Amino acid sequence: MFQVNFSEQSMFELNKLDTRSQMILVEVISTLKQEQLDNPNEVIGRFNRGNKTYYRVRAGEFRVYFEQQNDALYAHYILHRNTFADFAFRSKLPVTKDFLIEQDDSFWKYLDSIRHKEGNDV
């Protein structure tokens, strides 16, 4: 059983949930075993982004993206499944932490930021 630490974004998302959903989500991540992290499957995914190894675990309607830090897990992001933010993070699209925090209405803002960054103002 791992100690779990949560980022600002993941705490923000966790606090929006009802108590029962919070408990389920925390239980899913806190009961993971080292063997599961060493052998990812359909429940736990593993991928590299930059020089970090991230894991993704499904918890109901949410996906928790975390990394192992010694004997603890650090939950970077809790994202609702089937959202653009979830897809963008998994697909290694260039996203900022602010984008993931403000995921509700940021799809169009994200597209605008890419257009402005590339100088394609229309």
Q: pLDDT per residue over 60-115, tens digit each?
A: 888 898 999 988 999 988 887 766 555 555 655 455 555 554 554 444 555 566 66
Average pLDDT of the chain?
Answer: 77
Written as six digits, the tokens of 13 are 């998302």
pLDDT at residue 75, rounded to an integer:
94
| Tokens 């928790």 sit on residue | 64
Pairing of strands 72-80, 3-6: parallel
More confident residue, 4 or 83: 4
**Could you tell me the residue ranges of all domains in the chain?**
3-117
Q: Which residues of 70-86 are buried (b: 16+ CB within 10 A; e: fewer)?
A: eeebbbbbbbeeeebbb
Considering the four listed CATH numbers 3.40.50.620, 3.40.50.1100, 1.10.3720.10, 3.30.2310.20, the one that applies to the domain covering 3-117 is 3.30.2310.20
pLDDT at residue 122, rounded to an integer:
46
